[in-house]
Amino acid sequence: MALNYIWIAFFVIAFVVSLVRLIGFGDTEVFPAIMDSTFSSAKTGFEISLGLTGVLSLWMGIMRIGERGGLIAFTSRLLSPVLTKIFPDIPKGHPVMGTIFMNISANMLGLDNAATPMGLKAMEQLQEINPKKDTASNPMIMFLVLNTSGLTIIPVSVLVFRAQMGAAQPTDVFVPILLATFFSTMAGLVVTSIIQRINLFNRTLILFLGTLCVLVAGAIWGLSKMSADAMNDFSTQFANITLFVIIMLFILSGVMKRINVYDAFIDGAKDGFSTAVKIIPYLIAILVGIAVFRASGAMDYVIDGIGWVVGRCGLDTDFVAALPTALMKPLSGSGARGMMVDAMQQYGADSFVGRLSCVFQGSTDTTFYILAVYFGSVAIRRTRHAVTCGLLADFAGIVAAIIISYMFFH
């Protein structure tokens, strides 16, 4: 229901803004630009879904081998003491626990090609135990919020873009990104737990989250000692090795269980293809709404309005120029990436605005894209508090990014 209102709001606001620009300022290009954006974004949505088909088929096939080989069930039992505290409505020992862990791990390591198929598989398994098939369950919402908060240990793409834009030290945003995305994830976890009445104050969760904090601190310390080239090389090699090790573990689990590994892969790959087809209308719908909102100029008015309010409050307005990246990120990953690159081109890669844009880009994920793809894959229409919790996690990440960037770069 929330997506319905948001989608309508995109069009209504865009229409009003466009009329003002046409009638009040004689801007005759606004409506042609809006219509061009609808066609181009619809095409983009189809191309994204088409591009996902091969990746989904590959990883759904690998996941099916893991299911029949027992590896996912083993991982589920291993992590059950922790995940049952965060997802109390999931039956103990359910295979989805293992899939959720693998998705979150892939996101943390920046392995997007593996994270999305695993996330869609987790949604499919969560739907199996969902009593209301058109309504998002509590575990679905918690899982989605953890994805939208964007916890990533190695933000490879941001570092590469900074290197390409001529940053003197491309890795100088690494620690701020890691801190900001950590706060975003913790905020999403806490807010969703409060709404779902999940008790986070138990020994198991405190021990787990404490260990996670130590590991994150260790990763920060180790990677911050590397040069830019060394860090990029390490990140790339680590990601590739990790992916191949995962594939080999799944195949070996199937061999040890004496299953037909090839047939299992083909069976899972078929599901990957059908899943890619299912998400096409949902993805096109959300991308068209976002494109109309952008093309009308409404986004520019929002940014200008925030700058005016901040200035009237007597606060420093240096961060406002980087806000397009922050506000675009929940709507479109490619759009936010373009905003980040534009900020570095206009202000300089080593400027405060350029660096803050990079921290924004790495601190959260594309909330509405994930909502459309994940919920669309299982035909969820009633999202309940998913949008609210996801956007609150994004807001926490934005605020943390601003504060942390002022501490590091201003």
Of 60-64, 74-78, 282-286, the least confident: 74-78
User: Is 88 in contact with 29 (CB distance < 8 Å)?
Assistant: no
Tell me what pLDDT residue 114 has: 64
pTM: 0.73
Question: What mean pLDDT do residues 152-179 have?
Answer: 76
> What percent of the chain stands above pLDDT 90?
19
Confidence of residue 381 (pLDDT cuts 50, 70, 90): confident
Tell me what pLDDT residue 104 has: 79
Tell me what pLDDT residue 235 has: 62
In terms of C-beta density within 10 A (0-12 exposed, 13-18 middle, 19 or more buried), how is residue 227 classed? exposed
Q: What values do phi and psi take at 202, rounded to 5?
A: -135, 160
SS3 content of the chain, % helix, strand, coil (to 5): 80, 0, 20
C-alpha distances (whole Å) from 410 to each of 138, 174, 226 are 41, 16, 23
CA distance 325 to 399: 13
Q: Which residue has the tokens 């096939």?
A: 61
For residue 155, pLDDT over 90 is answered with no
Strand-pair partners of 382: 135
CA distance 334 to 45: 12
Question: What is Dmax (Cα atoms) for the chain?
Answer: 73
User: Is 196 in contact with 268 (CB distance < 8 Å)?
Assistant: no
Tell me what pLDDT residue 291 has: 82
With CA atoms as reference, report the closest residue to 169 among 349, 407, 362. Answer: 349
Residue 374 carries which DSSP code? Answer: I
What the block records as the tokens of 90 is 């999931």
**Mean of per-residue pLDDT scores for the chain:** 83
User: Is 149 in contact with 92 (CB distance < 8 Å)?
Assistant: no
Tell me what pLDDT residue 286 has: 75
| DSSP 3-state of 95 | coil
Tell me what pLDDT residue 341 has: 79
User: What does the chain come to in residues?
Assistant: 410
What the block records as the tokens of 265 is 């892969």
pLDDT digits (tens, 9 = 90+) for 85-137: 889 898 877 888 888 877 877 777 655 556 778 888 889 999 999 999 989 99
User: Is 76 in contact with 98 (CB distance < 8 Å)?
Assistant: yes
pLDDT digits (tens, 9 = 90+) for 311-370: 888 888 889 889 888 888 887 776 777 678 778 877 888 899 999 999 998 888 788 888
Tell me what pLDDT residue 369 has: 80
- Got the DSSP string for 211-264? HHHHHHHHHHHHHHTS-HHHHHHHHHHHHHHHHHHHHHHHHHHHHHTT--HHHH
- Got the DSSP string for 14-31? HHHHHHIIIIIH--TTHH
pLDDT digits (tens, 9 = 90+) for 3-40: 677 788 889 999 999 999 999 888 888 899 999 989 98
Tell me what pLDDT residue 246 has: 80
